[in-house]
Structure 1
Amino acid sequence: MKENKLFVITGGPGVGKTTLLKALENKGFIAVPEDARQIIKEQMLGDGEGLPWKNKAYYSALMLKASLETYHRIVRDEHSEIVFFDRGILDTVCYMSMENIPIAEELITLVKSCPYHSKVFMLPPWEDIYETDTERKQTWEEAIYTFEKMKETYLEYGYEIIEVPKGNVEERCDFVLRNI
C-alpha cells in the first residue's frame, strides 16, 4: 500500500472522534469533519428520506457520494501536510455491509482507488462518554457492534488498526501523534 499523509480516525459512534479531531486541529493539523452528521442534519431539515432510520440505502448513497467528494477535494488540493479524516470512505462500506445493502464490485474497485495511510486510528467503545442525540440514535450495543464491524472492514481492506486508548483528549492526541 502506497503511503500518504491521509489518516483516518474512526470507530463506533460516541467514542470521542470529533473531540480528538478538534484537538488535533487546534494543534495546527488539518481535520476533515465527518460527512454523515452533516447529511443527517440536512435530511432532517428538509424532511428528507436519506436518514439511517428511514431509508438506509439512500442514506448510504448520500454518505458514499459525500465521502468520495471530500476525499477527492483533499487529494486535489495536494496537501503536503498531515490530514486527519473523521471517518473514511470504508466507514460507508461497513455501514452498507451491516445493513445488508448490496455492495457492487465497482464500488469496491472505487474504494480501493482512494487509499488512506495504512495506519487507521480506531477509538474503542467507551460507555462512560457514550450518549445519544438527535443525529446519533444507536444503542450502546449497536455502538459496540459497529466498532467490531469497522475493525473487520478496515482489516479486510489491508489497513493496520491502531487502537487509541481511552483517556483525556490530550493523552489521545499525543498517542496519535506518536504513532504517525
Structure 2
Amino acid sequence: MAERFILLTGCSGGGKSTLLSALAARGCATVPEPGRRIIAEQVAGGGKALPWVDMEAFARRAIEVARSDLAAAQVLEGPVFFDRGLIDAAVALEHCGGGKVRDTIGELLPYAKRVFVAPPWRTLFVNDAERQHSFEAAVQEHMRIEGALDQLGYEQYVLPKMSVTARADIILEQCGL
C-alpha cells in the first residue's frame, strides 16, 4: 500500500505546495501539507502549537495530522501525493528533543521508496504569516530531512530548479504515470 503514497519533501519554500496543486490539476489525488493546516487551526482557535511558539507541540500535532492523512488516504484509488508528512514531522520533533525519527515512524515506512525532494531555492522562498523562519533555517531543516531520508533507506530524487509544469512532468514520468 505504501508504494502508492508518494512524498514530496525538502526545503521549506521550495515549491512543494505549488507542485502539489499542479498534480491535483492533472487529476492526481493529493494531501496538503500538515503544517499549514495546523497553523491555520491554531491561529483560528488561539492555540499555542505554532512553530514559533512551541515547536515540540507543533511537531507532535503534525505527527497526529500526518498519521490521520495516511489513514484517510487508504481509501483513495491509485497514487496519492503528499506535501510533506510523517517524516518531516518526525524530523522536527527529533530536532526539538522529542524522540528519534525511527522511533516516531516505526519499522514500516509509510511512503514509496522513492521520494521527491525540493531543494533550497532562494528565488522561491517567501516569508508569510505561516512561514516566519529564515531561508537559512529552511536550509538547515532541509539538511535534517535529507539525513533522515538516508537513514530510513529512502531513495531521494532531487527535483531540478525548473518550471512547475516541468517538475510535475518529471514526477509523473518517474512514477510511471
Instruction: Please indicate the TM-score interval, normalised by the length of the shorter structure.
Output: over 0.9
| Moved beyond 4 Å, runs of 4+ | none
Gaps of 5+ in 2: none
Distance in 2 between residues matched to 1:132 and 1:103, nearest whole Å? 29
Once the two structures are superposed, residues 138-162 of structure 1 have per-residue CA deviations (whole angstroms, 9 ceiling, x without a partner) of 1011111111111111111111000
1:105 CA displacement: 7.1
1:132 CA displacement: 0.5
Secondary structure of 2:112's match? coil
Distance in 1 between residues matched to 2:18 and 2:54, nearest whole Å? 28
The correspondence for 1:96, drawn from 74, 87, 93, is 93
1:6 CA displacement: 0.8
**What is the match of residue 30 of structure 1?**
29
Paired residue type of 1:74: A
1:137 CA displacement: 0.9
Distance in 2 between residues matched to 1:124 and 1:30, nearest whole Å? 23
The alignment's C-alpha RMSD in Å is: 1.7
The correspondence for 2:121, drawn from 126, 143, 158, is 126
Aligned residues: 175
**What is the match of residue 48 of structure 1?**
47
Once the two structures are superposed, residues 5-59 of structure 1 have per-residue CA deviations (whole angstroms, 9 ceiling, x without a partner) of 1100011211100100100111110111111111111111222111111112211
Distance in 1 between residues matched to 2:35 and 2:92, nearest whole Å? 11
Distance in 1 between residues matched to 2:14 and 2:112, nearest whole Å? 21
Q: Answer whether contact 1:7 1:119 (CA < 8 A) is retained.
A: yes
Secondary structure of 1:120's match? strand
Structure-1-length-normalised TM-score: 0.91
Distance in 2 between residues matched to 1:43 and 1:73, nearest whole Å? 22
**What is the match of residue 171 of structure 2?**
176
Output aligned runs, 1:97-176, within 5 Å. 97-103=94-100, 107-109=104-106, 112-113=107-108, 115-176=110-171
Q: Answer whether contact 2:3 2:111 (CA < 8 A) is retained.
A: yes
1:74 CA displacement: 0.7
Structure-2-length-normalised TM-score: 0.92
Q: Kindly, what percent of the aligned residue pairs are identical?
A: 30
Paired residue type of 2:56: A
Secondary structure of 1:54's match? coil
Does the C-alpha gap of structure 1 residues 97 and 123 become closer, same or farther in structure 2, counting only changes over 3 Å? same
Gaps of 5+ in 1: none
